[in-house]
Structure formats: structure tokens, C-alpha cells
Amino acid sequence: MIKAILIFNNHGKPRLIRFYQYFAEDMQQQIIRETFHLVSKRDDNVCNFLEGGSLIGGSDYKLIYRHYATLYFVFCVDSSESELGILDLIQNMLLFTTVCNFVMQVFVETLDKCFENVCELDLIFHMDKVHYILQEVVMGGMVLETNMNEIVAQVELQNRMEKSEGGLSAAPARAVSAVKNMNLPEIPRNINIGDINIKVPSLSPF
Amino acid sequence: MPAPIRLRELIRTIRTARTQAEEREMIQKECAAIRSSFREEDNTYRCRNVAKLLYMHMLGYPAHFGQLECLKLIASQKFTDKRIGYLGAMLLLDERQDVHLLMTNCIKNDLNHSTQYVQGLALCTLGCMGSSEMCRDLAGEVEKLLKTSNSYLRKKAALCAVHVIRKVPELMEMFLPATKNLLSEKNHGVLHTSVVLLTEMCERSPDMLSHFRKLVPQLVRILKNLIMSGYSPEHDVSGISDPFLQVRILRLLRILGKGDDDSSEAMNDILAQVATNTETSKNVGNAILYETVLTIMDIKSESGLRVLAINILGRFLLNNDKNIRYVALTSLLKTVQTDHNAVQRHRSTIVDCLKDLDVSIKRRAMELSFALVNGNNIRGMMKELLYFLDSCDPDFKADCASGIFLAAEKYAPSKRWHIDTIMRVLTTAGSYVRDDSVPNLIQLITNSVEMHAYTVQRLYKALLDDISQQPLVQVASWCIGEYGDLLVSGQCEEEEPIQVSEDEVLDVLEGLLVSNLSTPVTRGYSLTAIMKLSTRFSSLNRIKKVVSIYGSSIDVELQQRAVEYNALFKKYDHMRPALLERMPIMEKTATNGPSETVQTNGETDSTILDTKHLPSISQPASQANDLLDLLGGNDVVPIIQTTVPTKPASAGGELLDLLGDLSLTVIPPMTAYNKNGLIIEFTFERSNPNPNIAVITIHATNSTEADMTEFVFQAAVPKVCSFPSCSTVIRKHIFISLIFLKEQLEAIKHRHFKIRVPVYFRQGLLKSYIMHKIFFFSGYCWHLI
């Protein structure tokens, strides 16, 4: 089970925080700090998972992370597949790293598609959108969908729904984008109007 | 009131803050604005405000005052509002707050909404943070959605159902009908989540498990399609079609096939196919292969398949990724007992892993190597293991040394090889060798009669080099004490005999006595060795001097020994040669009493106790004294019996006092020990079929709740009785019977007969060791001393 998904930058500033298990607010911040501390120390060449910090439950938890340019994507996974059986972490290790790596990849690629060459700023300014995308990939700590096209399609449809609703908040934005998209022909600067011979037809009075 | 600023504005503003304090100030200002906006119950801007609140929450600022607002948003008709409202609920609310229950109605309505995305939102929220009450109320709706044909909703409903089952396991039955045709879906997302749901149900309930067994053919078919179908761009990952679905199915098959013949048979083919067809160049392929291996091992697969699985693991050992190597070694370790031959084939690869850089891998490889040692490969394996012992971390050395000793004992091709191996271990890792190996080795050496000269020579030479490794020194001094005459007379056949004089030998031994490197135990060994040499060497005076000096040693143990040896010289010189004679061969069997064998410290019969568990409980060289002085009646001087195994029973009579009259039937049962929950009782009777046999039954009872483990009942009993083996675990009762024959008893009537009971047992974390309970039996009198 995925216990938490964290995205933060090279300085530890959080860009997206999603916990799938209850943690008090201050605990959440502490976990973010500790995770950043653990992950930032690692060489990029070493295998990309390590034991969880003491806060999230110690050695039963593993952190699987990837470093993309200025961002760290971290999945915090626990050893049990279901809450019942504590399956051997060793057995699951291979699977977890593979799955999480892949899901991260899907997630990032989806972000890329949705934001068009996503960068950190996009995540900063569109935190809610990123959450919505994530919601289509992981639900309740379990992987929901791995087909990127599906995910992108569903996200787009929902965004469209939101846009169509519009409302006051969207109106100015829509106006602006409408003006932007308007195809205005070139207006000639010098209008040379010569003599105009206007012939007005006689209209019968009614 | 001006319109609240947009999220974008807020973020931009906050980013301009240069210090934490500045940021906090901005946020507080905005929070105040948001609060007043909330108070105005403004529907238009609510979603904007909540979005800002969520952002501030992510930065770590309190946002609880927005919880109710989230609920209002959820209740709104607009999709935009609902979206941010549900997100807010998931981030800000949890089941600890009563407020969350207010959502239930909204979610219920939204689960039945006409727009699938709204339904999706509701499912998502319920599946993430639904409490047990909410789940109970809404399970019916989820179940309905599980049956829909809309694949978008169906997959979400499946994961939501998993959450519901985890929260309220009793509701699992409710979802059973809906699972009927989950697997006939084409959509991979639905298949994936359905398999997760089925797995969850099977893990929680054995009934469900047997019910779902009938799905095995369907699962096999789906898996087959995945493998056999051509390239499908949608699901392709590194050339493999939807690997995650494959893995999920493999896991479910594992659960369904475990312990069931029919299911296991149905999956044999597909498992073989997956195992052979999967690409291994990428990690995804390896993950699938590993899941396949785990499944093969867990179900009742045919042997060919198991061999295939082990070969896959063997291939993993050559992989560059150390995680894969580690995972493979761990799995091989689990299967080495059951599929020994198949694992043997990969022995050389495993042995290579001993040279790996990673510590955990080295440890696993070591354990596996020991498991693979057998009579055929002992020589080669030992070479590698000894090399490993040389170069490994100190943490490993103790385990490695013990393992080598065990392996050598079991499979040594020749005595000379065995002795050489031991020597090698002692000299390279001598200080890491466990204490209990010393008596084991001594016994081994004693029993290799023809190697005595060679052994003592090698040990002597080792001593000349290095006296810091205590186990080596102890074994060496014991040997020199025993076989010093062979050393001096240069009788070695195996190698070039060395020239050494008696004085030189005594120099070495005396050197051990005074060296700061020697522990008190070692000193004890060397003093006794010197004493023994008094009958083997001619330089008596020197030995006498040494012994008398140590009569005033501060170390009480040394002092006692020296005093006793002194007494031996002075008063009992006639007994000295007999006492210090060569040790007889020591047997490790249970049926011989100590009149024939010298019981080494605690490691008596391997049938009685598990030697690994028992710690060293007494001094090695003088343990003979411990056990025997009780048999020697009231004499101070320990009498070491000089019997050779073939001697008749009467030899035992010299030492042992036995029961007088055989009127045992009048003797009532007695409780010998009653403490810490352990009760030991003695009952006495004559054996019914044969009245010439007296039977003393020792009944050990565990009156506590917990088991008592490592129970050792050791007795120094006369040779006349047979001492059966005794279990090491007392759950409730253990019976040990001592049998005496009338004839032998009658021979020695009036003297005393003792049974010494060193009892050791462990209960949970509490160790208890009872020592030196000696039971005197004489005639009709039974005394506890």
C-alpha cells in the first residue's frame, strides 16, 4: 500500500503532498522534512529506494523516489500488500520498486501531456490540477490506472466540464482567452478614402 | 468587499516573500480575508477560497476552519465546486472529526448522480477516507456501481470496495454477487482493480478462497492472452504487455493454488510459459519472473517447474542489480531444503557471491553455502569458505567458524583433513571462535588417535607464533598436556617431526600462565597441562615448583587447582600416574554413563540436548572433576576413572555407590524440586514384568502457561542404568526413567548412590539454571543435598 506521495523541490519546499493514511498536520510536515533529508543525501547513482525514516514507522516502510531535474517524487510504501498479511518485504521489494517507478513515470508523463512540457512552475501554480491528475492514477493508496492515454483522456474531459460550467470566476479568463484567440484581420493603417460617390436609391415612402 | 484574490495571485505573492516571517504575515492576512469571506456565505468565491486554503495547508499552515466550507462545496451543484470540495475533504478531513459524517448524504447522492465524473469523485473520496460508519451506510451504493458497465466507474468502485472491506470486514459477503463477471471485462483498468478486490477477499476469508478457486481457468486465460497477444501500444511497458496486471494475476494464482492440487495443476502450463517467455533485460521482466518463481514455490507444482524456478533464481544471481541478487539468494535459502539438487547446480555462482561487496549479500551467500555443503563438494567448498573466513567482517567470523566446524565434522573426508581444517580456523579466526567449540574440538582430537602426534605438533607450532587467540591456546595447551610425550619424542608421521625439548615445552606453558593475554580459563588449562606432563616428562622438579607457586595465586580457581595438585604430589603420589593417564576415547552417545565417558561441559549427549543452546557452564579441563567428584564419595581428590570401554561393570563399582536393597516398593514418591514452575518428582518402583529391574522415574512437570525450552536434564548415574534421551521442550510433562538391574545393585549394597541433576531450562526470556542438585540414594534413605 502506498502510504504517501510527496513531491518537493531540491530545497525541500513541498509541491504536492498526499497522505493515504491519517497523520496529524505537524506530523505531516515533519515527515516531509525528514523524507527530504533522507532523500537529498543520496547519490543519484545509488538504487532509488531506502528504509523509511523513524517517523513513518521505521524499517517496515520503504521510500521509493526519483529525481527529475529540480523535483523529487517520493512514494512511501509499506511492506504489507493488504493490511492483514505482513508479506515479506523482500518479496515485495522488487515489485514495489518496479511498480512505483512505473507509476511515477506515468504520472510525470501525464503531467507533461496535460501541461505541455511541464515544469516546476506548473506544479506550483496548478496544485489542484496536479491533485486531480494524481487522483486518476492512485486511489486510496492503491494503483488505479496505468494506461496513460486513459488517464489523460479522463482528466481532459473533466477539465472541459469545469470550463463549460464557467461562471463568474471563469468569465474574465474566458474573455481574455476569447480575445486572444480571435482571428483579427490586419487593419490597414492608412485608409485612403478617395471621393466617394454614393448613390442613394430612392425609396418609396411608406 | 472586493473579490477575493485568485489562487495564482496568492501564490505569486507568497513567492515574493523573502523570509519565513514575511510569508507567515502574508498568509495570516489572507486567512483573515478568507475567513470573512466565508462568513459572508458567498457561493461564488467559495471554491477559490478553499483552493487557496489547501495551498496554505500544504505549506504547513492551519486550515481547519475551511472544513465546513468543503462540505458546502460538495453539496453544490457545480462540478467545479464539487471537485475542489471533495479534494478539500480528502486533505483536511479524516474520520477523527465528527464533521466528516455530514458528508455521507452528499456522497450518497453523488454516487447516484447522472454525471460519471461526479460519481467518480464520490467513489474516490469514500475510498480514500471513508470511516466505518460511512462505509456501512454506503456499501450498497458501491455494490451497485460495481455491477455497472461503465468501466471508468467500475474500476473505481472495485478499489472503493477494497477500502470498505478493510474498514468493515463483515460487509465482504455483500460484494460477492457483484464479482461474478468482473473478470469478463476487457478493460485493463477494471481487470486490474478487480483482481485486487478478489485478492483482498481471498486473503481475508478461507470460504471466499475456496469459492473463488473456480476462477482459476479464467485467470489463466487472461494471463495467456496477455503473453500471447501481439504488441499493444496501450499496455506496453518495455515490450511486455501490461506487466502489472500479469503480476497481480500471478499473485492471485499463488493464493488460490496454495495447497490445492487441482488449481495448481491448472496453472502449471501458464507458469512455465510466463517463465520462459518473459524478457529479462528490464526490471519489469524481472519483477514478473520473480512473482512467477514465488508462485511456483508456493503451489503444488511439478518438479520440472520447480527446477525452472530455481534456474531463474540462479540467473538472477548474475544480474547487475544487487537488489535482484539479494532477493534471489533469500529465495534460494528458503528452497534449499526442499529442492536441494536443483540448487546445487548453482553452487559455483552462489560461492562467487561470497566475494560480493554488499554485506547482506555476503551473509546470505554464506548461509546458503553452508546449506549446500555435502560429502561430494566438501573439499572445494571448504577452500572457498576458509578463504571467506580470512577476509570477511568480524561480525561474520563467529558464525562462519561455527558453520565450518559443523560442516567439517559431518563430511570430513579424512581425519588429517579435519584436523588441518580446524587448525586453519583456529589460527585465522581463533579469537572469534565460540567458546563451546573448544570442548568439541578437544573431543574430536582425542578420538582421532592416530593423529595425536601430528595434532600436538601443529598446535605447538601455532602456539609459538601467537598466544593471543584464546580458543586456540586452550585447545593447544590441553593437547600438549595430553600428548606432550609424543611431541618431545618426535614421533610424528604425517609431517617432519620437530625437535623440541621438555624444557622448551614447559617454557611455553609457563609463558601462558604469566602472559597478560591469557584469560583465567586459559591459565587453568595450562596449569592442568603442566601437571599432566608430570607423568609424561622427566623434569618433575620444575613442575613441582610451578605448581607450588600457584598455590598462593590470587585467582581462586588457579589456587585451588595448584593446591590440589600439590596434595597429589605430596600425599597421593601413588595415585598420580593413574590419575593423569591418557584420556580415553569420548563417546557422544546417550547410553553410556560417566563411568565410561567424561562428560564435557554441558555438551553431553547430543540426543539429550541441543548443543547450540547450552552455554558453557563450567571449566573445560576440570569439568571431569566436577562431575566425578560427586561420584567419588567423600574424597577430596577427584578420581578420574581409568576404565576403558570394554572393562566389565565392576569397574563402575569402584567409583559408584549403588542402591542397597531392592525393596523399592516401599519408598514413596518424592518431590525433588519445586520452583519457578518446574516440578521434579522421583517415583520408585519395580518394573512389573521383571521384578529384578528397579525403575526410578523422574517426572518433570511444567506448571506454568508458557513452554519451557532447552530443558536439559543431565545425570551422572552409574553405568548400570541406561539413561534415555530426554526432550528439550517441556510443554507439560517429561518422564525420564532410570533403570537398575538387581544383580549390579546387590553387588554394592550399603554404600551411597548419587544422581546429580544439573537442570537447565529456559522459559520465555527468563533463563533458569539449576545446578548441583545431588540426590543421594542409599538403602531406604533418600536425601536431597
Q: Which of A25, A145, A161 sits opposite B117 (nearest CB)?
A: A161
B49, B83, B242: best to mutate for the A interface, most A CBs within 10 A? B83
Contact B62 A25 (CB under 8 A): yes
Could you write out the three-class secondary structure of B546-557? Answer: HHHHHHHCCCHH
DSSP string covering B602-651: S---TTTS-TTTPPP-S-TTTHHHHHHHTTTTT-SS-------TTS-THH
Whole-angstrom distance, CA of residue B440 vs CA of residue B606: 12
Over residues B45-59, mean pLDDT: 91
Query: What does the angle CA B689 – CA B694 – CA B695 come to, to the nearest 5 degrees?
Result: 95
Contact A140 B162 (CB under 8 A): yes
Q: Which of B11, B127, B251 sits opposite A125 (nearest CB)?
A: B11
Residue type, B624: A
Other Cβ atoms less than 10 A from the Cβ of B114: the count is 6
pLDDT recorded at residue B196: 93
What distance in Å separates residue B741's CA from the closest CA in chain A? 57
pLDDT recorded at residue A63: 80
The most confident of B271-285, B522-536, B653-667, by mean pLDDT: B522-536
- Inform me whether the pLDDT recorded for B616 exceeds 80: no
- Inform me whether the pLDDT recorded for B220 exceeds 70: yes
Nearest CA in chain B to A172: B6
DSSP label of B716 = B
What distance in Å separates residue A139's CA from the closest CA in chain B? 6
Confidence class of residue B625 from pLDDT cuts 50, 70 and 90?
very low
DSSP label of B773 = E
Q: Give A167's contacts in chain B (Cβ within 8 Å).
A: 44, 78, 80
Phi, psi angles (nearest 5°) of residue B673: -155, 135
Per-residue model confidence as pLDDT tens digits over B279-332: 888 888 888 999 999 999 999 888 899 999 999 999 999 988 888 888 899 889
Q: Which of A94, A102, A162 sits opposite B324 (nearest CB)?
A: A94
Q: Give A97's contacts in chain B (Cβ within 8 Å).
A: 283, 323
How many angstroms separate the Cα of B680 from the Cα of each of B676, B728, B785? 11, 15, 15
| Cell matching residue B403 | 558453520
Of all residues in chain B, the percent with pLDDT exceeding 90 is 35
Nearest CA in chain B to A142: B159
Q: Which of A16, A29, A84 sits opposite B203 (nearest CB)?
A: A84
pLDDT recorded at residue A137: 92
A28, A64, A135: best to mutate for the B interface, most B CBs within 10 A? A135
pLDDT recorded at residue B706: 67
Q: Which of B620, B662, B584, B610 is nearest to B592 (CA)?
A: B584
Residue type, B310: I
- Interhelix angle B502-514/B452-465, rounded to 10 degrees, is 50
What distance in Å separates residue B188's CA from the closest CA in chain A? 8
Whole-angstrom distance, CA of residue B567 vs CA of residue B565: 5
What distance in Å separates residue B234's CA from the closest CA in chain A? 6
| Cell matching residue B661 | 536393597
Whole-angstrom distance, CA of residue B588 vs CA of residue B586: 7
What distance in Å separates residue B80's CA from the closest CA in chain A? 5
Residue type, A111: L
Whole-angstrom distance, CA of residue B44 vs CA of residue B37: 10
Give the 3-state secondary structure of residue A6: strand
From first to last of its 206 residues, chain A has per-residue pLDDT tens of: 788 999 999 999 999 999 998 888 888 898 899 889 888 887 665 556 565 555 555 556 678 888 888 899 988 887 654 443 434 556 677 777 788 888 888 888 889 888 888 888 888 889 999 999 999 999 998 989 888 888 999 999 999 998 888 654 455 555 555 565 565 555 555 555 555 555 555 555 54
Better pLDDT: B175 or B740: B175
3-state helix, strand, coil in chain A (%, to 5): 45, 20, 35
Nearest CA in chain A to B327: A90
Q: Which of B502, B493, B497 is nearest to B536 (CA)?
A: B502
Least confident of B149-163, B312-326, B558-572, B639-653: B639-653
Contact A97 B203 (CB under 8 A): no
Q: Is residue B228 packed enough to be buried (19+ CB in 10 Å), middle (13-18) or exposed (0-12)? A: exposed
Report the length, in residues, of chain A: 206
Per-residue model confidence as pLDDT tens digits over B683-738: 776 665 655 666 677 777 777 766 666 666 655 555 545 455 555 566 666 666 66
pLDDT recorded at residue A84: 39
Whole-angstrom distance, CA of residue B63 vs CA of residue B41: 17
Q: Give B17's contacts in chain A (Cβ within 8 Å).
A: none
Contact A97 B51 (CB under 8 A): no
Per-residue model confidence as pLDDT tens digits over B226-269: 988 877 777 887 788 888 899 999 999 999 998 889 999 999 99
Least confident of B56-65, B82-91, B662-671: B662-671
pLDDT recorded at residue B371: 92
Contact A147 B193 (CB under 8 A): no
Cβ contact A2:A144 at 8 Å: no
Nearest CA in chain A to B10: A125
| Cell matching residue B148 | 455497472
Cβ contact B678:B701 at 8 Å: yes
ipTM for the predicted complex comes to 0.77
- What is the helix (H) or strand (E) element at residue B326, kind and residue range? helix B322-335
Cβ contact B756:B718 at 8 Å: no
Other Cβ atoms less than 10 A from the Cβ of B5: the count is 17
Residue B710 region, left (φ>0) first, then alpha (ψ -120 to 50), else beta?
left
Contact B60 A85 (CB under 8 A): no
Contact B58 A165 (CB under 8 A): no
Q: Please, where are the H alpha helices in B258-321?
A: 261-277, 283-298, 303-316
Contact A161 B44 (CB under 8 A): no
Give the 3-state secondary structure of residue B394: helix
Per-residue model confidence as pLDDT tens digits over B439-496: 888 888 888 888 888 888 889 988 888 888 888 999 999 999 998 888 888 777 777 8
| Cell matching residue B536 | 609424561
Contact A91 B44 (CB under 8 A): no
Over residues B149-171, mean pLDDT: 94
Whole-angstrom distance, CA of residue B548 vs CA of residue B567: 10
Bridge partners of B759, per DSSP, are: B713, B770
Whole-angstrom distance, CA of residue B614 vs CA of residue A204: 129
Whole-angstrom distance, CA of residue A150 vs CA of residue B234: 9
Cβ contact B633:B752 at 8 Å: yes
pLDDT recorded at residue B652: 34
Cβ contact B535:B576 at 8 Å: yes
Cβ contact B447:B426 at 8 Å: no
What distance in Å separates residue B637's CA from the closest CA in chain A? 59
Give the 3-state secondary structure of residue A3: strand
Q: Give A144's contacts in chain B (Cβ within 8 Å).
A: 155-156, 159, 189, 193
Phi, psi angles (nearest 5°) of residue B708: -105, 125
Contact B193 A144 (CB under 8 A): yes
What distance in Å separates residue B587's CA from the closest CA in chain A? 44
Per-residue model confidence as pLDDT tens digits over B663-698: 444 456 777 777 777 777 777 766 656 556 666 777
Residues near B161 by beta carbon (within 8 Å), at least 6 away in sequence: B142, B143, B146, B175, B178, B197
Whole-angstrom distance, CA of residue B624 vs CA of residue B564: 14
Q: Which of B7, B96, B117 sits opposite A158 (nearest CB)?
A: B117
Bridge partners of B748, per DSSP, are: none
What distance in Å separates residue B391's CA from the closest CA in chain A? 25
Q: Give A169's contacts in chain B (Cβ within 8 Å).
A: 6, 44-45, 47-48, 80
pLDDT recorded at residue B763: 57
Residues near B652 by beta carbon (within 8 Å), at least 6 away in sequence: B593, B595, B643, B718, B719, B720, B744
- How high is the mean pLDDT of chain B? 79
Query: What does the angle CA A42 – CA A43 – CA A45 come to, to the nearest 5 degrees?
Result: 130
Cβ contact B322:B274 at 8 Å: no
Q: Which of A90, A97, A150 sits opposite B189 (nearest CB)?
A: A150
Q: Which of B80, B84, B127 sits opposite A165 (nearest CB)?
A: B80
Cβ contact B276:A80 at 8 Å: no
Q: Give B251's contacts in chain A (Cβ within 8 Å).
A: 81
Whole-angstrom distance, CA of residue B495 vs CA of residue B508: 22
Per-residue model confidence as pLDDT tens digits over B87-118: 999 999 887 878 888 889 999 999 999 999 99
